[in-house]
Amino acid sequence: MNKYLELDDKKIEKITNILINYLKGNINHQQAKEKINSSFDRITVQEFALCEQYIGNYEINDDDLTKRIEEVISIVEDILVTNELELEEGHPINTYLEEVKAIRKVLEEIEIMKNEKFIKNKWLEIYDKLLEIKTHFSRKQNQLFPAFEKKGFDKPSKIMWTLDDVVEDKIKQSLKHLKNDEEEKFLNMQDEVIDIVEDMMQKEEDVLYPTAIDMISDEEFIEMRKGDDEIGYALIDTPPSYGNINNKNETNTNKELLNDLKDLLIKHGSLKNIENDKALDVSQGKLTLEQINLIFKHMQVDLSYVDENEISKFYTDTKHRIFPRSPGVINRKVQNCHPKESVEMVEEIIRAFREGEQDEAEFWIDMGDKFIYIIYNAVRDEKGKFRGVLEMMQDVTRIRKLEGSKRLISWENTKREEVTNDKNDKSNRYNISSEMIIGDLIEEYPYIKDFLLNISPKFEKLKNPILFKTMSKMATLEMISKRGNLDTDELISKIVDRIDKEKGNE
């Protein structure tokens, strides 16, 4: 790992030994601090990060180190120095820094509001903003951490992932008090929320980002930037591309996916050379690489595959993904793709599959408006040998509500044609119906998103970029109206009036 940082090995060893002696109780905090201050003039954040990685080699487990990381940092804080980063727009680390600035502005609003007259709706709005920190964490966990782990540098990322979860839990706990009208409990928690969020961002700025700049190559950052858009951004607009790469060029992305699959097939001897339009013999039929890619891209279920070595190898790049994925998960240990709290369950599933005790494990999650069904299947070859795990995930909210039978074709656009002859029919003046998908409506009339937010505070999920990305692909106006406790026809009428106003047709 030090080959990426090129630091003084003897100095690293000496710092690590002092910290280990403290963690094992051989010296107290004050003694450790005095030894550090008397032995060194300065310790860089890169040196500290490397020591943090090496501590795990001395029988100090990750849980203990995570719980005591504040104590460890306080030992070196007097002489810990960090770098001022000056990066161009679009660089992934610059994007994280811009998000940190935006999150700090939210904390400043909270600081002001806690001393003002309590207005619940105003607090709900500010917490809508604060919850976007989940997008910041998700991109960090799925994009930045894998880049560290590829270099064997996994301890700092594991610790920080756990701390991210602590921050999220604290925010959720505070929000629960707010929604339950427990005003005093909620207000009493605000200083704690501010402190824990600020502490996390400080660790990112002081240690994580400078170390990333030293360890991760510019080529890797260019690749990282390609996957950032898939997850989204917290409280900032989509940044410009980095490294002269247009991230929105779907044609190039498809070519890269096809080339990756081609390389994989060649590597495993399935073919020596093949063009994208040449048919392959698959289990039942013949498909080109382009057709294979298109089939996966249009599936109404999310698939992920982990091989027998517990390495994430594949996921379907569907537009409606329930949980975000990015190219950073590929070739990453599956344990590092999950928060620490769920790793034990993941390992138990793999163990049971590997040893032949089980062939599937199913779960379902009630996520407010959505009901998610998840099933894991053991993948075995013709001889029964364990070859990995296939995860299938689907939003079955609508499916659960189906009743009776549907044996005839009915097209939504046909229904529209039958009723749009009446020019006085407001609900169909713009071909809007209760079954219209909210994403299609907003794509046609972008200003409707802000309009909906003003109609009802219950439309708060539209503000979250990850949730909105999911909702926009499956939520109908009927579902949206129920969420806002509105009559569907009334909601459509309001939307039509708003469109009329925009078009000047009042």
Which residue in 94, 41, 90, 69 sits closest to 158, CA to CA?
69
The residue segments making up the domain with residue 310 are 301-403
Quick check: 374 and 391 in contact, CB under 8 A?
Answer: yes
What is the predicted pLDDT for the residue at 327?
Answer: 67
69 in helix, strand or coil? helix
Determine how β-strand 80-81 pairs with β-strand 43-44: parallel
Taking all residues of the chain, what is their mean pLDDT, rounded to a whole number? Answer: 79
pLDDT confidence bin for 410, thresholds 50/70/90: low
Residue 470 lies in a domain: yes
Q: What is the pLDDT of residue 259?
A: 58
Tell me, yes or no, whether 226 and 261 share the same domain: no
Q: Which of 58, 81, 104 is the last residue of a domain?
A: 81
Q: What is the CATH number of the domain that holds 358?
A: 3.30.450.20
Q: Answer yes or no: is 86 within a domain.
A: no
Residue 501 to residue 430: CA distance in whole angstroms: 13
Looking at the structure, do residues 100 and 214 belong to the same domain, yes or no? yes
Confidence label for 250 from pLDDT (cuts 50, 70 and 90): very low
Asked if the structure places residue 242 within a domain, the reply is no
Note whether 22 and 105 are same-domain residues: no
In a domain, 240, yes or no: no
Are residues 180 and 218 located together in one domain of the fold? Answer: yes
pLDDT digits (tens, 9 = 90+) for 140-171: 888 888 888 777 777 667 777 778 888 999 99
Given a cut of 90, is residue 388 above it in pLDDT? Answer: yes
pLDDT in tens, 290-348: 888 888 888 888 898 999 998 888 888 776 777 766 666 777 778 766 666 677 888 89
- For residue 445, what is the DSSP state? -
Domain of 124: which CATH number?
1.20.120.520
> Is residue 258 domain-resident?
yes
Note whether 191 and 286 are same-domain residues.
no
Q: According to the model, what pLDDT value does residue 293 have?
A: 83
The pair of three-digit structure tokens given for residue 297, joined into one six-digit string:
């891209």
Per the structure, the count of domains in the chain is 5
* Torsion angle defined by CA atoms of residues 468, 398, 362 and 293, in that order, rounded to the nearest 10 degrees: -60
DSSP-H helix ranges across 131-249:
133-139, 145-149, 155-179, 183-203, 209-215, 218-231
Cβ–Cβ under 8 Å, residues 326 and 230? yes
The enclosing H or E element of 249 equals none
Among 195, 206, 145, 204, smallest CA distance to 170 is for 195
CA angle (251, 257, 263) in 5-degree steps: 135
Examine the fold and report which residue of 403, 428, 449 is the final residue of a domain before the chain moves on: 403
Confidence grade of residue 424 (pLDDT, cut at 50, 70, 90): very low
Structure confidence at residue 376 as a pLDDT band (50, 70, 90): very high
Same-domain status, 102 and 215:
yes
Separation of alpha carbons 477 and 467, rounded Å: 16
Indicate whether 312 and 210 sit together in one domain: no
Q: Residue 179: pLDDT above 50?
A: yes
Is residue 230 within 8 Å of residue 324, measured between CB atoms?
Answer: yes
pLDDT value of residue 462: 64
Give the DSSP H/E element, type plus range, for residue 371: strand 370-380
Q: Determine contact, residues 266/273, Cβ cutoff 8 Å.
A: yes
Interval 88-122: pLDDT, tens: 888 999 999 999 999 999 999 998 988 888 888 88
